[in-house]
Amino acid sequence: MNQELIQIGQKVLSICLGLKKGESFLIVCDDNKKGLAESLYQAGQALGAETMLAVMKTRGKPGEEPPPSIASAMKHADAAVCITEHSLTHTNARKEAAKAGTRIATMPGITEDMFLNGAISADYEKVKERTENVCEVLSNGRSVRIEKAGYILTFSIDGRKGIPSTGMYLNPGESGNLPSGEAYIAPLEGTANGQIEIDGSLAGVGTLISPLVLTIENGRITDAEGDAAEKLLSILGSGDGRCLGEFGIGTNDRARITGVVLEDEKVLGTIHTAFGSNNTFGGTIAAGVHIDGVVTKPTVYIDDELFMENGTLKKQS
């Protein structure tokens, strides 16, 4: 067992989840991530928590629900970490567990390198402040325009609330990714129109060798061009998986583009759009899939006011 991983695990669980002696702590993992999960199991035990490890079959795609028995166990823990190949962030299991008061950190696709370096090593007090500032702008906004490489995508966020994923989940019911650092929101369904170039990475694909250009009409992908286009459309399916479900802004200055969206979408100076489910954070789409695509150095307007220029934040409340 890698002692460095265990020591970092103890630090992360203490700072980011506030895990204390005597608390019930559940680690949900799949066959692909069992090794890293066992390090967290040892870390939880070292902190004196009542630590449990639940291993499930690897899910087929992000947003797919865990088994009912694991979903139930998540609701009865004081704190939980989901360290899986595919994300459980946008699942009803995560949503219901948070509603029951469980503090939850999801770590989809995390690698040993990501656990030892990069975004995990950020100053999370600073990440929290930056994230909450960006989130406030999103919550007060009505419209978004994204410009990149001559392509323009517009959509409404009127009436929707931004979600801060700060990396610190210390109070009952707080949840988000680890490593973290993003503010995101559910665009109003059916309002997105235009094109967007995704050039950073794509969940289920990894780092993009060539850009992916998506055409969106009335909130739904109608065309995709690029080497990753066929695979993306296959993962999303022909139903509501093709609907725009999320707009997010990275706020972690230590995050890197690694090919794993868990870290990639947190990079300061990037944004991401996701397609599929958003019913777990204020939207109405329940597609059983959620795929994020990262855009580097975009220009973004919120309510026609410049918010980010070529990846540099221009306005924070």
Give the closest residue to 91 by CA, choosing from 68, 70, 62: 62
Q: What is residue 92's predicted lDDT score, i.e. its pLDDT?
A: 95
How many CB atoms within 10 Å of residue 44?
27
Q: What is the pLDDT of residues 60-87, one digit of tens each?
A: 999 999 999 999 999 999 999 999 999 9
Residue indicated by tokens 């906004």: 141
Q: Which two tokens stand for residue 29?
A: 């993992």
Eight-class DSSP state of 32: G
* Domain extents in the chain: 3-116, 122-313
pLDDT of residue 115: 85
Q: What is the pLDDT of residue 2?
A: 83
Distance CA 155, CA 194 (A): 9
In the numeric block, the tokens 């939980």 are attached to 80
Average pLDDT estimate for 162-166: 94
What is the Cα–Cα distance from 174 to 197, expressed in whole angstroms?
33
Q: Which residues pair with 148 in a beta bridge?
A: 151
pTM: 0.85
On the question of pLDDT at 317 being above 60, the answer is: no
For the four alpha carbons of 176, 180, 181 and 183, in that order, the dihedral sign comes to negative
CATH topology of domain 3-116: Thermophilic metalloprotease-like (3.40.1830)
pLDDT in tens, 236-291: 999 999 999 999 999 999 999 999 999 999 999 999 999 999 999 999 999 999 99
What SS3 class is residue 290? strand
Question: Greater confidence, 316 or 157?
Answer: 157
- Please give the average per-residue pLDDT across 20-48, as a whole number: 96
